[in-house]
Amino acid sequence: MPPKTRSGEDQTVGEMSKKDLLALITGALSPLKTSVDKLQVDIGRLATDVGKHSVDLTKLEEKLDETDQYSRRNCLRIFGVKETPREDTDQLVLDVAQRIKVDIDRNQIDRSHRIGKPGPNPRPIIVKFVGYSPRRAMFMAKKILKGSGITIREDLTQQRLALLRRAAESYSEENVWTYDGAIMVKVGNLRPFRVRNEKELQSHLERHPPSS
């Protein structure tokens, strides 16, 4: 009498055909595949949400930077002015103004002071004016100081200062400047363009690579 054939559930792995074994494995993995598919969908949704939040965060950072820069609109930084003990920085600002023929008085200065740690070179002076007008007058006349060792620059946020340096390294200092906190770049005969962030700068570098 021939031996009885056991059902698939009773058979050992060694007694099963390849077809039955494959069916058994497929059945066992089916729930796992369903879980993996669901996990991939969840990961896709999460990536979309992260991307959206990343865009929102970038916009928020740009807005905060814009607000920070606006709060500095009445400020200037003056570099290269000799530093002495017990100095009056307000008077030093007035002396620079007189040197570039800008008519302002002490009442138009809100406050001024040196910034940074003392060292071998004079620390820059940061000055905040009572209004925008005297600040603009001094900044527009700064070219008169060329060759004197004294320079006047806008008070930029850390983010814009880093962007300014990056642009100057790429396009050279004579082709990069700031105006009311905006970073401007001149390339060849093209009209100057404004750079707002690192992404814009990279885009301009790709379209208008610096001349070697």
- How many Å apart are CA 102 and CA 191, to the nearest integer? 30
Specify if 201 maps to a domain.
yes
In tens digits, the chain (212 residues) has pLDDT values of: 555 545 445 555 555 666 666 666 666 656 666 776 777 777 777 777 666 666 677 788 888 999 999 999 999 999 999 999 999 999 999 999 999 999 999 999 999 999 999 999 999 999 999 999 999 999 999 999 999 999 999 999 999 999 999 999 999 999 999 999 999 999 988 899 999 888 899 998 999 888 76
Specify if 36 maps to a domain.
no
Q: How many domains does the chain have?
A: 2
148 shares a domain with 76: yes
How much is the pLDDT for 17? 65
Q: How far is CA 86 from CA 3, 89, 108, 111, 158, in A?
A: 111, 9, 22, 16, 29
How much is the pLDDT for 11? 53
Owning domain of residue 130: 71-155
125 shares a domain with 85: yes
Q: State the pairing for strand pair 182-185/193-195.
A: antiparallel
80 shares a domain with 129: yes
81 shares a domain with 151: yes
Q: How far is CA 133 from CA 39, 74, 189, 202, in A?
A: 60, 8, 32, 34
Specify if 103 maps to a domain.
yes
88 shares a domain with 145: yes
- How many Å apart are CA 139 and CA 100, to the nearest integer? 10
76 shares a domain with 148: yes
Last-in-domain residue among 123, 155, 187: 155
Specify if 3 maps to a domain.
no
Q: State the pairing for strand pair 125-129/109-114.
A: antiparallel
Q: Are 116 and 123 in contact (CB under 8 A)?
A: yes
164 shares a domain with 102: no
pTM above 0.75, yes or no: no
180 shares a domain with 108: no
Specify if 56 maps to a domain.
no
How much is the pLDDT for 53? 62
198 shares a domain with 166: yes
Look up the CATH number of the domain holding residue 78: 3.30.70.1820
150 shares a domain with 75: yes
Last-in-domain residue among 110, 138, 155: 155
Last-in-domain residue among 155, 181, 198: 155
160 shares a domain with 190: yes
Specify if 29 maps to a domain.
no
Asked whether the CA dihedral 3, 7, 9, 12 is positive or negative, the reply is positive
